Structure 1
Amino acid sequence: MTGNGDDPFLAAVKPLVDAMGGEMLPPGEAGPDDVVLSWEGADVVAVRLPQLAESLDHILAAMERKQGKPLAELDRKAKQQVVRTLEARGAFLVRHGVETVAGALGVSRFTVYNYINYANEQRARARGSEAEPL
């Protein structure tokens, strides 16, 4: 969305919209699935949220920027952490999510499933040790 570059409300919500991979539009251009944000009784901006598959690509790109290098170049432990983070964010609920993540990490689908299973085992062990009486 162009114009209103000095509007403090738009400036405040822009980082969030960018982080989600959304698009800011004038309220009059909002579609039925867009979210219209109002401030002090007036519609200020419409936010078009990305499709789930686009969100996964956006999340992977953000993780790559945060790591400072392609995800495929990370060591095994870092890749496992990426998979844990993505699982917590629901990345594997998206159709072809495992395949998309495997491609980004430069590993097989089988390896991604192993990372998921390993993380689940670690959580189960942590819960088990917390539940045992002293």
Structure 2
Amino acid sequence: MSEGGAGSREAFIAALAPLVAAIGGELIEPGEKRDDDVLLAWAGAPAVAVRLPLLSASLEHVLAELARTHGRPLADLDRATKQQIVRRLEARGAFAMRHGVETVATALGVSRFTVYNYLNRSTNC
């Protein structure tokens, strides 16, 4: 790896790291890339591979990050905050994946029916 300034491979990887962490992914050396990893090039050469999480793992990662952001388990939040979380998750496509509603309901400490009510409420407002 070259030492260097803003245009270096290391700077490129450092810039990617927060995004990859936010989605629950992992940065991998190009030589360790598997078929389902995404290889990224910098300056015409392979720089790093990104191992994307399974969709269910990604949702779990997002829910864990939301709990950290709020400083407590999501089940302990008030109703209005839970509704906001459901709206944010809907915008990110969480409910398009299999078992998304069940996963979110469990994290929020509510029933699936309640999550569906929150979703219906957000579309009717």
How far 1:41 moved relative to its partner?
Answer: 0.9
How far 1:10 moved relative to its partner?
Answer: 1.5
Aligned partner (choices 24, 29, 39) of residue 27 of structure 2: 24
How far 1:38 moved relative to its partner?
Answer: 0.9
How far 1:86 moved relative to its partner?
Answer: 0.5
TM-score when scaled to structure 2?
0.90
Give unmatched runs, 5+ long, in structure 1. Answer: 123-134
Moved over 6 A (4+): none
Taking the TM superposition and a 5 Å limit, the aligned residue runs for 1:1-134 are: 7-122=10-125
Q: Which amino acid aligns with 1:79?
A: K
Residues in 2 aligned to 1:107 and 1:12: alpha-carbon distance in whole angstroms: 37
Residues in 1 aligned to 2:11 and 2:32: alpha-carbon distance in whole angstroms: 21
Residues in 1 aligned to 2:110 and 2:23: alpha-carbon distance in whole angstroms: 26
How far 1:11 moved relative to its partner?
Answer: 1.1
Aligned residues: 120
Per-residue CA distance 1:62-86 (angstroms, 9 max, x = gap): 1111111111011000000000000
Per-residue CA distance 1:72-106 (angstroms, 9 max, x = gap): 01100000000000011111111111111000000
The Cα RMSD (Å) is 1.7
Question: What SS does the corresponding residue of 1:45 show, helix, strand or coil?
Answer: strand
Question: What SS does the corresponding residue of 2:39 show, helix, strand or coil?
Answer: strand
Give unmatched runs, 5+ long, in structure 2. Answer: 5-9
Which is higher, the Rg of structure 1 or of structure 2? 1
Q: Which amino acid aligns with 1:56?
A: L
